[in-house]
Amino acid sequence: MQLLRKVYRFSSTKHRFASDIKSTNRQKMNLFQAINNALDIELGANPKALLFGEDVKFGGVFRCSQGLNEKYGTDRVFNTPLCEQGIGAFGIGLASVGYTAIAEIQFGDYIFPAFDQIVNEAAKFRYRSGDQFNCGSLTIRTTWGAVGHGALYHSQSPEAYFAHTPGLKVVVPRDPIQAKGLLLASIRDKNPVIFFEPKALYRNAEDEVPLDDYELELSKAEVVQEGKHITLIGYGTQIRVLREAAKLAEKDGVSCEIIDLQTIYPYDGQTLVDSVKKTGRCIITHEAPQTCGMGAELSALIQEKCFLHLEAPIKRVTGYDTPFPLVHEPIYLPDKFKIYEAIKQSVNY
């Protein structure tokens, strides 16, 4: 058993956006490989970092922790009993005495037993103690979003529940490069972060990911495509759908600006407002149900700050107010055609 010395710090570079990274030292990776790479870097750089959750030891059901137990040992990369409320609390306890706790919840659909610990404890730990204690070195990684056949309990997008909790940060990456940088930033952020990983992208999303240790700034939204006529806001898997919808709209001569929120909470409202002031039209999209989803929050903010600039009502294209379906998934999802239709309605208002 190795004696862990006091922490560290490392040659990590911090960037606002992935496009700022100039590194040529890259490797083709999918999302789970990028996550694995980020975890490997942190475990290597930070002797007080620990990675744990259900099935983490053999490599994880999505392979995110592949090889890490072999490399860092069972004291640092280990299985927990099957108990999400325990995983959350265990992570809080570790973080409260100075360890970097990277807790994995296998499916976001199963995060709810830990809801009390996350909302009542982790989020409020610093505030209620007068800053004598904190669990800032806690990061909860969990899977997120539709996967094609997941139905009610393997497809949920629970970000809105946590975005309503002061003291937490909530992050959703869209691609491997962002995922690695945002995950490292989340782990090192001095506040508890919930990091949602879009499971549909674990294998399907590939990129040339820099091998360096780098972080991408939290609470910064990225304009992934510039445009003139309408602002499209989304995050995670939905960014791909927005790109497809924008291509359809382009054929009609509509130039779409696409923004990836990246950090769901606290979000970067300024970038959204600047964009809508420019375009005058806005669509917000997410898989999560419509009522009280992030679309509702962002609509409220944008209409407040951009009222006189709006040429059309803000439209939300979201999942319906139903549990996530199975056979109905293809018609449930806010796909490119629904977004394209919303763009047309907005432009023709």
Catalytic residue numbers, as ranges: 84, 154
Shortest distance, position 159 Cβ to other proteins, whole Å: 17
C-beta closer to other proteins: residue 237 or 263: 263
Alpha carbon 259 to its chain centroid, in Å, reads: 14
322 burial class (0-12, 13-18, 19+ CB within 10 angstroms)? Answer: exposed
- Cα(328)–Cα(194) distance, integer angstroms: 29
Is residue 78 part of the contact set for other proteins (CB under 8 A)?
A: yes
For other proteins, which residue of 24, 25, 132, 348 counts as binding (CB under 8 A)?
132
86 contacts other proteins (rule: CB under 8 A) = yes
9 is an interface residue for other proteins by CB under 8 A:
no
Q: Among residues 12, 219, 255, 345, which is the contact residue for other proteins, using CB under 8 A? A: 219
> Angle of helix 238-251 relative to helix 336-347, nearest 10 degrees?
50
How far apart are the C-alpha atoms of 89 and 103, rounded to whole Å?
A: 10
Find the radius of gyration of the CA atoms of the chain: 20
Residue 2 within binding range of other proteins, rule CB under 8 A: yes
Among 19, 20, 75, 148, interactor with other proteins by CB under 8 A = 75
Q: If binding is defined by CB under 8 A, does position 45 make contact with other proteins?
A: no
Residue 113 binds other proteins (CB under 8 A): yes
Residues 146 and 200 sit within 8 Å (Cβ to Cβ): yes
The binder of other proteins chosen from 19, 23, 27, 129 (CB under 8 A): 129
If residue 139 lies in a helix (H) or strand (E), which one and from where to where? strand 138-144
Of 45-53, 204-212, 286-294, 316-324: span binding other proteins (CB under 8 A)? 45-53
Question: What is residue 73's DSSP assignment?
Answer: -
Distances (CA, A) of 285 to 10, 78, 239: 38, 37, 9
Closest to other proteins by CB, 131 or 330: 131
Tell me the longest C-alpha to C-alpha distance in the chain.
67
**How far apart, in whole angstroms, are the C-alpha atoms of residue 96 and residue 94?**
5
Shortest distance, CB of residue 298 to other proteins, whole angstroms?
13
Among 153, 166, 247, 313, binds other proteins (CB under 8 A): 166
Rule CB under 8 A: say whether 115 interacts with other proteins.
no
Phi-psi bin for 49: left (phi > 0), alpha (psi -120 to 50), beta? Answer: beta
Q: Which of 206, 269, 312, 323 binds other proteins (CB under 8 A)?
A: 269
- Contacts with other proteins by CB under 8 A lie at 1-4, 44, 47-48, 50, 58, 69-76, 78, 80-81, 83, 85-86, 89-99, 101, 113, 116-117, 120-121, 124-134, 136, 166-167, 169, 190-191, 219, 266, 269-270
